[in-house]
Amino acid sequence: MRIVLQRVTKASVKVEDKIVGAIKKGLLIFVGVSNDDDCSDVDYLVKKIVNLRIFTDDEGKMNRSLFDNKYEILSISQFTLFANTNKGNRPSFTDAASPEYAKNMYEIFNQKITDLDIRLERGIFGASMKVELVNDGPVTIILDSKKR
């Protein structure tokens, strides 16, 4: 699995001009699922994301986690994180999981986060979405479960 996460002061996602998910301070997470991902990839990334110390403490240092601060997550499925641009100018998505498998893994990922009592909003899997955010920092981090 690949994750692009951004520390935000607010973020929202719209489908057909209707807001379907919105958060205040927390993380906007784009989630990509590949053909060979399994629940161990989910478990690794959930643990990493909620404990990643990227929020500032009282001294202004990145030393607090989402879990420490009880912040929120906006989770967006994004198969394009597995785009392969090595040949030509049109990306190939052969490394991305099938929609059925990706949706299942995405739902498991989201459930494991909510099981930790973290407020999670989400986009609609497979929909064309418009995402708005205010990146805080800016802080943007890429995580890949295969690069542990």
Catalytic (active-site) positions: 78-80
Whether the ω angle into residue 138 lies within 30 degrees of 0, i.e. cis, is yes
Instruction: Check if the beta carbon of residue 64 is closer than 8 Å to that of residue 56.
Output: yes
- Backbone angles phi and psi of 25, in degrees to 5: -65, 135
Instruction: Check if the beta carbon of residue 55 is closer than 8 Å to that of residue 64.
Output: yes
- State how far the Cα of 20 lies from the Cα of 33, in Å rounded to an integer: 22
- State how far the Cα of 92 lies from the Cα of 73, in Å rounded to an integer: 29
Q: CB 147: neighbour CB atoms within 10 A?
A: 7
